C-alpha cells in the first residue's frame, strides 16, 4: 500500500530527532562503547536504589539497581526493549497478523495517546473520518481539535452496521466534493459506551468495505481481555483479518493491570508506525520507562500461563459485576429504561423511554438524588440535540451500591417525566 497518501500535512512535515534516534545504540551496547551523545542525567545520582512490589498472589517483584537505571532514565522511543519483545510475542500469540513481517509495534503513553497520534497523522482539517454513532466520548474530544467532518454510522446491538457504512461511503463517493474518508475508528469489543461486541461475520463485512473504499481501520480494543467469553471464543481481531496492511490496532494495560502506569501499545504497518514514532520523539521522547520496566517484569514473573490466569479472573469478576448491574436495572428500571446486555467491558447503555433528553436530568438534578451517570449527548457528534441515552459504569461499585443507585435513578426518572408533563 502507498501510505504517503494517508498522511496529514502536519505528519508529512515531521522530522526525526537525531538524539532520540541514536538511543537505539544503547540497546545491548558494546561494553567498550563510550556514550557522549544525548544529555541524559547520571543514574548514579538518582535518589532511588531498589524497588520491591508485592503482588496479590503473594509473589514479589524486585527491581534491582540495574533495572532502575533503565526505568528511571530516558529510553528508546519505541519502548523498553524487553517489553517490546514480550508485546510482539503477545500480538503473534493472540492475533497472528497475516502481514506480521511488514508490521511493527510502539509503546504509547496509554492507548489514548496512540489513538490521538494516529488521528493527527491521518487527518487534515475538513477531512472525513468514519466513526460509530454513538462513539467513545474522548475520541470525539481528540477529533474536535482537528476539525474533521464526520460520517457517523448508526449502531445496532452488534456495533457499527455494515449496510449503513456502505450507504454513507457510497453517498460520499457520489457527492460533488468526492472527499472520501481515509480512516475508520471503532471499538470492536465491549464498545464504550454501548457495551456491544462485533461478531466475526460483522467484522469481515466491515473489513471488506474498508478494502473497497481504501480506508485505514483504527481498531481501539482496550476491552479485549474483558470480554466475558473464554479467550478462544473471542471473535478474530481486525488485525488478524488484515491481509492488506490497513489496520492500526491499539491495546492497553489500563483495564487489566493498572490505569495509572500509562502503558499501552499500537501495532500496524511499519511505515505508519515510523511516522507515529516521529511524533513520539518530539512530544514525550519516550513513554514512562519505569512503568514499562514494571510491566515487563510482571509479564516475566507471570509467564503466558500466569497472564492467562489473571485475565480469566478479570472476566469472571467483571461478568459478575455486569450481572449485578443487570439485576439492579431489572429490579428498578423495568418499564422506565431499555438496554442491551453487554458481552464485555464495564458499561451499561440505557435508553430512558419517557425522557426526551437525559442531559438536564443528570447534570442539573441527578446530584440531588445521589446518582451520577454520563448523559448520552457526550457520545455523539452533535451534543446540542436532545438525547434519550445515558451510560452507567459498574466497574467500581458494589452490588449493594448498584441496587441503591438504580433505585435513586428510577426516582429521578419518574420526577423528570412528571416535570416534562407539567411543562407540556
What is the DSSP secondary-structure string of 215-272?
PEEEEE-TTGGGBSS-GGGSPPPHHHH-SSS-EEEEEESTTTT-STT--EEEEEEHHH
Mark 147-173 as b/e (b = at least 16 C-beta within 10 Å). Answer: ebebbbbebeebbbbbebbbebbeebe
State the pLDDT at residue 152. Answer: 96
Distance CA 49, CA 270 (A): 37
Q: For 159-172, give the DSSP string.
A: EE-HHHHHHHHHHH
List residues bridging with 151 in a β-sheet. 130
Per-residue cell: 424:
407540556
pLDDT at 32: 87
Distance CA 123, CA 144 (A): 11
**Within 13 Å and on the Cβ side, how many CA atoms surround 237?**
30
In the chain, which residues have pLDDT < 70? 20-21, 23-24, 424
**Predicted pLDDT at 416:** 94
Cα distance between residue 296 and residue 302, in whole Å: 10
Distance CA 343, CA 347 (A): 10
CA dihedral sign, ordered 161, 167, 136, 216: positive
Burial class (CB in 10 A: 0-12, 13-18, 19+), 287: buried
Strand partners, 129: 150, 183
- Predicted confidence at residue 424, as pLDDT, reads 65
pLDDT, tens digit, for every residue of 244-274? 999 999 999 999 999 999 999 999 999 999 9
pLDDT of residue 37: 76
Residue 20 CA to residue 43 CA, distance in Å, equals 18
3-state SS, residue 190: coil
Q: What is the pTM assigned to this prediction? A: 0.94
Amino acid at each position: 500500500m502507498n501510505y504517503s497518501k494517508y498522511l496529514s500535512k502536519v505528519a508529512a512535515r515531521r522530522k526525526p530527532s537525531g538524539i532520540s534516534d541514536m538511543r537505539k545504540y544503547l540497546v545491548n551496547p558494546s561494553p567498550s562503547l563510550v556514550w557522549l551523545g544525548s544529555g541524559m542525567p547520571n543514574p548514579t545520582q538518582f535518589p532511588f536504589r531498589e524497588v520491591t512490589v508485592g503482588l496479590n498472589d503473594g509473589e514479589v517483584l524486585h527491581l534491582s539497581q540495574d533495572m532502575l537505571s533503565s526505568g528511571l532514565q530516558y529510553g528508546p522511543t519505541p519502548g523498553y526493549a524487553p517489553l517490546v519483545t514480550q508485546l510482539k510475542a503477545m500480538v503473534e500469540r493472540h492475533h497472528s497478523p497475516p502481514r506480521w513481517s511488514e508490521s511493527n509495534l510502539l509503546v504509547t503513553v496509554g492507548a489514548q495517546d496512540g489513538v490521538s497520534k494516529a488521528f493527527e497523522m491521518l487527518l487534515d482539517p475538513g477531512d472525513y473520518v468514519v466513526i460509530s454513532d454513538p462513539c467513545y466520548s474522548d475520541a470525539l474530544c481528540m477529533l474536535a481539535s482537528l476539525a474533521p467532518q464526520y460520517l457517523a454510522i448508526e449502531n445496532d446491538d452488534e456495533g457499527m452496521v455494515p449496510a449503513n457504512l456502505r450507504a454513507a461511503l457510497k453517498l460520499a463517493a457520489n457527492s460533488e466534493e468526492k472527499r472520501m474518508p481515509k480512516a475508520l475508528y471503532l471499538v470492536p469489543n465491549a464498545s464504550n459506551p454501548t457495551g456491544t461486541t462485533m461478531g466475526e461475520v460483522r467484522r469481515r463485512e466491515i473489513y471488506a468495505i474498508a478494502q473497497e473504499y481504501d480506508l485505514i481501520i483504527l481498531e481501539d480494543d482496550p476491552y479485549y481481555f474483558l470480554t466475558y467469553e473464554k479467550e478462544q471464543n473471542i471473535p478474530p481481531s481486525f488485525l488478524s483479518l488484515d491481509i492488506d496492511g490497513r489496520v492500526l490496532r491499539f491495546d492497553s494495560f489500563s483495564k487489566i493491570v493498572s490505569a495509572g502506569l500509562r502503558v499501552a501499545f499500537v501495532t500496524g504497518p511499519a511505515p505508519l508506525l515510523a511516522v507515529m514514532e516521529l511524533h513520539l520523539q518530539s512530544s514525550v521522547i519516550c513513554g514512562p520507562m519505569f512503568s514499562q520496566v514494571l510491566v515487563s517484569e510482571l509479564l516475566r514473573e507471570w509467564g503466558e500461563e500466569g497472564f492467562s490466569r489473571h485475565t480469566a479472573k478479570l472476566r469472571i469478576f467483571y461478568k459478575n459485576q455486569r450481572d449485578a448491574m443487570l439485576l439492579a436495572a431489572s429490579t428498578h428500571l423495568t418499564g422506565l429504561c431499555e438496554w442491551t446486555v453487554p458481552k464485555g467491558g464495564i458499561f451499561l447503555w440505557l435508553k430512558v423511554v419517557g425522557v426526551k433528553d437525559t442531559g438536564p436530568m443528570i447534570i442539573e438534578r441527578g446530584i440531588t438524588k445521589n446518582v451520577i451517570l454520563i448523559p448520552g449527548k457526550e457520545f455523539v457528534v452533535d451534543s446540542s440535540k436532545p438525547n434519550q441515552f445515558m451510560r452507567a459504569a459498574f466497574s467500581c461499585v458494589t452490588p449493594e451500591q448498584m441496587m441503591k443507585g438504580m433505585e435513586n435513578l428510577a426516582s429521578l426518572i419518574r420526577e423528570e417525566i412528571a416535570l416534562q408533563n407539567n411543562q407540556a
